[in-house]
Amino acid sequence: MKKKRIKVGVIGVGHLGEYHTQKYIAMPSVDLIGIMDINPERAREIGRKYNTNVYERHQELLNMVDAVSLAVPTEMHFQVARDILLSGVNLLIEKPITYSLEDAKELITIAKEKNLILQVGHVERFNPAVVKMESLLNNPIFIESHRMNLFTKRGTGVDVTLDLMIHDLDIILHVVPSDVKEVHATGISVVTDKTDIANVRMIFENGTVANLTASRVSNRNLRKIRIFQPDAYISVDCLKREISVTSLLNENNDPDTFPQITSNKMKYPDSDPLADEISSFVDAVVNGSKPVVSGQDGKKALRVALNIIDQIETGCRGFKAIC
């Protein structure tokens, strides 16, 4: 059967929204109906660059499409996303889903009532090195993540926890099959009035421990996840899209000799996680299937992120249970 074509739009065509526009245009099963941005000059620029229609109000675009990507500033997420879902339009919303759990819950409820796809843009879930890592997990004991960025003004409207760390929170919460028991967070402001460097230690009910560090004032970009588990050490470089696995070559029953260790590296240099994310969203819309990163996933990561922010802002120095 011929695959159904869907009509899409992009609301918010700043740095990230422009990339969404590019990916939709490249998809043969999609008709990009148009774009909208609160900055008319920017909207016209993107409209001309990609030869697509420009709408002055997002409500006008919603009458024309089946689905949209929403890439506006986080403080506008809930208001615009609510309009989108109430209009019966499927939604791919950039991370974080919202600023509050109450708002996230309302969006999830509306999407469910209207039988719409609500996908959250945690793009690292589509990083092929992360996907491969997930397939190799076997009762992780300790997980360590570092996400460091050179300083840029973009994204500084939110705490580094919501700006950067939330990617790793989403991944870890997804791969550890257990609830978070305790969390201990610390952080400091360096160049903004919000936390720019944060460190978090999470203990899960099943005993898994995760240590996460995020900084947006680093001297280099770094995005790594390390997994320690009974049968292997796994290292993922999200930036380079590489994964290395170190494990025993075979069981050694001779007490007088050391076991042999082997290491295998896999690289995915030609991958495009954002294109895969958007393609996954389109497939979910066409097939009515569950999105890879659901609204519930976005809410789960937000819940822990807000707990972390609260601990840092209140200066908590002891372990704190997540209620």
User: What does the pLDDT look like over 55-114, one tens digit per residue?
Assistant: 999 999 999 999 999 999 999 999 999 999 999 999 999 999 999 999 999 999 999 999
**Residue with structure tokens 């680093």?**
218
Percent of the chain with pLDDT over 90: 85
* Phi and psi torsions of 94, nearest 5°: -65, 160
The CA R_g of the chain, rounded to the nearest whole Å, is: 21
CATH number of 125-271+304-321: 3.30.360.10
How do residues 238-289 score in pLDDT, each as one tens digit? Answer: 999 999 999 987 665 666 666 778 899 999 999 999 999 999 999 999 999 9
How does DSSP classify residue 154?
A: T
With cut-offs at 50, 70 and 90, classify the pLDDT of residue 1: very low
CATH 3.30.360.10 domain position(s) in the chain: 125-271+304-321
Assigned fold of 6-116:
Rossmann fold (3.40.50)
Provide the pLDDT for residue 3: 62
CATH 3.40.50.720 domain position(s) in the chain: 6-116
Neighbours of 47 (CB within 10 A): 19
Q: Are 111 and 91 in contact (CB under 8 A)?
A: yes
Total-model pTM: 0.91
Provide the pLDDT for residue 260: 77
Give me the sheet containing 67-70, strands edge to edge: 53-55, 30-36, 6-11, 67-70, 90-94, 118-121
